[in-house]
Chains A and B, each alone.
Chain A
């Protein structure tokens, strides 16, 4: 009877002991669980900035941990650096992640392999995924549209500048050399002053003498002879009296001669020579030998008569104005 009465009590005690054992075992088992956590220092970052995700794997003592890495591909994200540190009962790995496009990305779970001392199998533990928002640079629309900035210039290098610098130096050296040579040469030379210009009358008389000795008209070269007489006189008038005689006709020269203060007899003498010369030059006129002589003698006489006028008032004779052709308006 007693034994039957004590049977429910023993059953209850047994159940209580079993529950207590189970609780103990559960606590023990919980204390030995391997856990992995991933913590990001921020969930929002600027494009190109970096994010640090620290993956910590903890477990009981004696656990053998493998490497920690992403369980899936990082689409749009890039791991730029991995720092790992082991400590007692776990390992902490910091992943430096960046993104070069704006948008929302998911940092995939990180997983780690481990083997517990009481187990021969290799197990895996993973973290939870992390959402990250990458934002772009804000555009200031209030400032209006501006041109795209040009590419930055690459700074000049020494090697690029070197050929130009050498060229400048070489040019400077050349200029200096030329200057130095000329200076040396100038110092070495004796100063010889230019001879004063010979008087126009002297040159004219000399030319007339030379013409006489050539005996052109005696050899039948009438045109050449009278052209030469006329040219000698015109050159004399041009150089001696600053009249544009070489570019003037006979009548224009005679008009200008009157204006220059030549006496009437001198102008008549000149007219005779120039008109005779024109006839020979332009009208096939053949003068008598005496007339040929007369042209030369007259030319000499004209130079001698006007020599005094020239010497007396060379400065007073104004430069002749451009001559007006006959019949022009």
Chain B
């Protein structure tokens, strides 16, 4: 009891900055609470985020604002079909003065990266980015450089205009911890956005958190208590994506090509802990699991042709699973 009370108090103390951060970002970003919260979740879990939404939904602004609020370096890379891996990671430049090669680091050397329209670049560029995401280091020539922490890649995909794109392979999509879908703001929110932009009274973002606070929070999050009932619940959800018939979801079996990987289980557990942390709790409740479940699983469940023919998406499959698997 004392342990959990102490942990709860510690979490409440350590997580205080999240409210401050969300408040500061909220000054610039109207609405899009889910997106901003998921960005923070990615930062806290040391995971990367795949963002899907039509253009003009403040994706760039959100990550730029977040970078400013945590005093981190931000870079935006527009992915195009003629982009080369060297444009991303950097290259060796010959210095005529010294008659030697020197390293010129690419834009990936930043804390927060916005890889805009990642599916417009060919596979070798995507691969270079995904490798950097995984390894957190870059090798240029014979020298290896570690990427500075926190390192968060926010890749965007445009759901429309799929002509001439290079869709990310499933194995690489799995490397993104979360896939967040952004919708349009509400009428009231859009009215506020309109007034704010026309009036030119967009408040300047101040740095409210140090990157070190984020790194510290990452260790605290791992201490958030997760009961074995919650662990079983997470396993039930992930296993229901693989063996739906075992969870009274036989109707989903022909619709799922393959379900969540063990990486999905790890991500779901970690994201649930981080969500509890943002909610300033020292323990995970089923609400936390359900809150992040869609973002963790939607890109990890591959639907069959039959599902596509019936317009069944992975979203609906997750809804069915959440509405069938018993909550502890």
- Bits for B252-290, please: 1 = Cβ < 8 Å to A, else 0: 000000000000000000000001000001111111001
- Bits for B137-180, please: 1 = Cβ < 8 Å to A, else 0: 00000000000000000000000000000000000000000000
Interchain CB contact under 8 A, A283 and B283: yes
Q: Which residues of B contact A278 (CB under 8 A)?
A: 285
Interchain CB contact under 8 A, B181 and A247: no
- Bits for B8-52, please: 1 = Cβ < 8 Å to A, else 0: 100000000000000000000000001001000000000000000
Decide if A102 is an interface residue (CB 8 Å cutoff): no
Choose from A248, A281, A285, A325 the contact partner of B4 (Cβ within 8 Å): A285
Choose from B37, B181, B229, B319 the contact partner of A322 (Cβ within 8 Å): B319
Interchain CB contact under 8 A, B183 and A282: no
User: Which residue from chain A places its CB closest to the CB of B8 in the assembled complex?
Assistant: A283
Choose from A247, A281, A323 the contact partner of B227 (Cβ within 8 Å): A281
Supposing A244-B323, A322-B323, A329-B181 touch, asked if A286 and B294 sit within 8 A by C-beta, the answer is no
Choose from B34, B181, B287 the contact partner of A249 (Cβ within 8 Å): B287
Q: Which residues of B contact A251 (CB under 8 A)?
A: 287
Q: Which residues of B contact A329 (CB under 8 A)?
A: 34, 181-183, 294
Which residues of A280-320 are within 8 A (CB) of B? 281-286
Decide if A200 is an interface residue (CB 8 Å cutoff): no
Within the assembled complex, what's the spacing in Å between the Cα atoms of A232 and B260? Answer: 32
Choose from B1, B284, B327 the contact partner of A248 (Cβ within 8 Å): B327
Q: Which residues of A contact B227 (CB under 8 A)?
A: 281-284
Within the assembled complex, what's the spacing in Å between the Cα atoms of A248 and B287? Answer: 9
Decide if B201 is an interface residue (CB 8 Å cutoff): no
Interface of B, helix, strand, loop or mixed by DSSP = helix
Total number of A residues with any Cβ neighbor in B under 8 Å: 21
Decide if B200 is an interface residue (CB 8 Å cutoff): no
Decide if A328 is an interface residue (CB 8 Å cutoff): yes
Interchain CB contact under 8 A, B323 and A284: no
- Bits for B285-325, please: 1 = Cβ < 8 Å to A, else 0: 11100111111000000000000000000000001001111
Interchain CB contact under 8 A, B182 and A285: no
Interchain CB contact under 8 A, B294 and A328: yes
Interchain CB contact under 8 A, A247 and B1: no
Least CB distance, B237 to chain A, in whole angstroms? 11
Supposing A282-B227, A285-B1 touch, asked if A247 and B283 sit within 8 A by C-beta, the answer is no
Supposing A284-B225, A322-B319, A326-B290 touch, asked if A247 and B183 sit within 8 A by C-beta, the answer is no
Least CB distance, A242 to chain B, in whole angstroms? 14
Within the assembled complex, what's the spacing in Å between the Cα atoms of A325 and B319? Answer: 9
Q: Which residues of A contact B293 (CB under 8 A)?
A: 325, 328
Least CB distance, B214 to chain A, in whole angstroms? 21
Q: Which residues of B contact A244 (CB under 8 A)?
A: 323
Supposing A282-B229, A284-B225, A328-B291 touch, asked if A247 and B322 sit within 8 A by C-beta, the answer is yes
Q: Which residues of A contact B183 (CB under 8 A)?
A: 329
User: Which residue from chain B places its CB closest to the CB of A283 in the assembled complex?
Assistant: B283
Decide if A155 is an interface residue (CB 8 Å cutoff): no
Supposing A286-B1, A328-B294 touch, asked if A281 and B322 sit within 8 A by C-beta, the answer is no
Choose from B3, B286, B322 the contact partner of A284 (Cβ within 8 Å): B3
Interchain CB contact under 8 A, B327 and A282: no
A sample of 4 more A-B contacts (CB under 8 A), given A247-B322, A282-B230, A326-B290, is A282-B286, A283-B4, A283-B225, A325-B291
B interface vs A, CB < 8 Å? Answer: 1, 3-4, 8, 34, 37, 181-183, 225, 227, 229-230, 275, 281-287, 290-295, 319, 322-328
What are 19 sample pairs from A and B whose C-beta atoms fall under 8 A apart? A247-B322, A248-B327, A249-B287, A249-B290, A249-B327, A250-B285, A251-B287, A282-B229, A282-B230, A282-B283, A282-B286, A283-B282, A285-B4, A286-B1, A325-B287, A326-B291, A327-B37, A327-B291, A329-B182
A-B pairs with lowest CB-CB distance, top 4: A325-B290, A283-B283, A327-B291, A284-B4
